[in-house]
Structure 1
């Protein structure tokens, strides 16, 4: 029991938590893969959405999610919506396993290793930020590979995962696998901070209200997630643009992606050439996919962990 007389936030052994997290990531990734491919394509199109002198119809880019899906289906086929799924599956399995395992360990350490218990919001922030940062850093090469496969159009640059690894290592060196890691890590802490600060304020404001779609707490959580994800989205877009830099930059679906020297330089260039809206390309589909992704991940995680705990308890009852 914790100092407050409550149960620890996570149950089960470390192996059970890691296994359940890995399975949850695997299932969730497959379900939302098409939405993720569309989001990446929208983020990578280097054309202004509002410049009347450079309409998108004259460029290999399309306005919105539906037009992008139609273009992919017409020119690349249904399976193209799962481009990059193999490295993405590996990434999500590893990411979810590391994230859940780190979150559990950090939470237990904060609950039992400090002289005084931190407030719940601070405890969740520290544990969540630590888990997110470590998971992002350790799985980043797989994230980069996922982006590059999803960015391929009808002309394939990498024919296999192994071939991609060999080509990047040969042409770009070890640093090539970590292009864009800076903005990737930079978005985690502000995201977690904004989420918990917003959630705590909205939770109090909505206390006692029952919405048609759920409780006040659930509504506060959804709104906090949308606001915090929107605030840090430009960093996610910059990360995607930097991930496809390198010797093959001109060979992806959008062949005229500019060359960026740094994350700050990328932000400035995108703002100058594509406008403020350009920093938020792919945001709607990103927000749409986050709901089913989170729901599938949490649902699968909870039931997988519960099943493993029940199996272990059943085995203990059988063995004298």
Structure 2
């Protein structure tokens, strides 16, 4: 198998795509789990150290920056505090990786089959495929994403004792819709994000492969993934913050580590409320750690996916030759 594979959508069978995507998701989640908890804590914080003491000292901890949040969580909750929500997150990444790459290749093949003169440009095809893949994977795994956020938002006071207990409580007190709080923000975020990410990735990949400058991460695939992810993440970040705020709504809202999370209802009203009461800074809380997370997550995801796919194709070719 040649190492210069042209693009994701032409690699492997559907089964191989699912397996490679699942492996990439699991490995990526393991690497960035602590950064994810830090990001969620910052996103749910409605106050900062610049606020008056009368505001800051009343409702839970006040985090400042990535390192400050890291130290505070370690001091108050121990190392395990950095891995809260990891089990539902691992399940989510397992399903998300498979659904994402599967939907991407499926949609790409459909678009490639469009006859001339209606054939779409490569950039448009990549954008549509990426957006569709992101929307499908987000919707399919959203309940796990919500559970990940709620567990990561717990401080020393345990809101839910286990995943099963959380599922039972949400089903009993919030109904089926409780598992999908903030889905509108999630889909609104992921459609442009994944569209921009895959379009940027496919465009950057051949450029990085021919770069005369030695690349970090040891792979042009990884570098292309990092750049594409950082650009896309910054554009849609306010929707990510909105999604997190909506995910912790419900009867347990005042028991999370931040006990003064306001009541929000919809995507637009949440953005308007944050903008009015916290300013632009409120919409971008945790962006720095999010970008720090995005770089290794995307690099590890794309690098692992490419290597897992390459290994399966090489094994398949070896069996075919035997």
Scaled by the length of structure 2, what TM-score is found? 0.87
1:129 counterpart residue number: 131
Matched, 1:270 2:274: yes
Provide Cα deviations, 1:146-201, integer angstroms capped at 9, x if missing partner: 00010000011111111111110011000000000001111123335555788899
Structure 1: distance between partners of 2:191 and 2:46: 28
The question of 1:240 aligning with 2:244 is answered: yes
In structure 2, distance between residues paired with 1:38 and 1:290: 13
Range 223-232 or range 72-81, more displaced: 223-232
Question: Contact (CA 8 Å) 1:38, 1:65: kept in 2 or not?
Answer: yes
For residues 25 and 202 of structure 1, what CA distance do their matches in structure 2 show?
21
Q: Which moved more, 1:258-267 or 1:244-253?
A: 258-267
SS at match of 2:10: coil
Task: Tell me the residue number matched to 1:258.
Answer: 262
Alpha-carbon distance in 2 for matches of 1:220, 1:11: 18
Match of 1:147 in 2: 149
Q: Aligned match of 1:228 in 217, 225, 232?
A: 232
Distance 1:312 1:96, change over 3 A: same
Distance in 1, matches of 2:7 and 2:127, equals: 19
In structure 2, the residue matched to 1:34 is: 34
Change (3 A) 1:127 1:35: same
Cα distance change on mapping 1:47 and 1:292 into 2, 3 Å: same
The CA deviation string for residues 27-74 of structure 1, in whole angstroms up to 9 with x for no partner, is: 110111000000000001111464356675665111111111111101
The 1:11/1:198 distance shift into structure 2, 3 A limit, reads closer
Which residue of structure 2 aligns with residue 86 of structure 1?
87
Return 5+ residue gaps in structure 2 as ranges: 1-5
4+ residue segments displaced more than 6 Å: 196-203, 214-221
Distance change (3 Å), C-alpha of 1:266 and 1:109: same
How far apart are residue 109 of structure 1 and its match? 1.4
Report what 1:295 is aligned to: 299
Q: Distance in 1 between matches of 2:282 and 2:35?
A: 19
Q: Which residue of 2 aligns with 1:173?
A: 175
Show the counterpart of 2:192. Answer: 190
Query: Take 1:275 and 1:303, find their aligned partners in 2: how far apart are those partners?
Result: 43
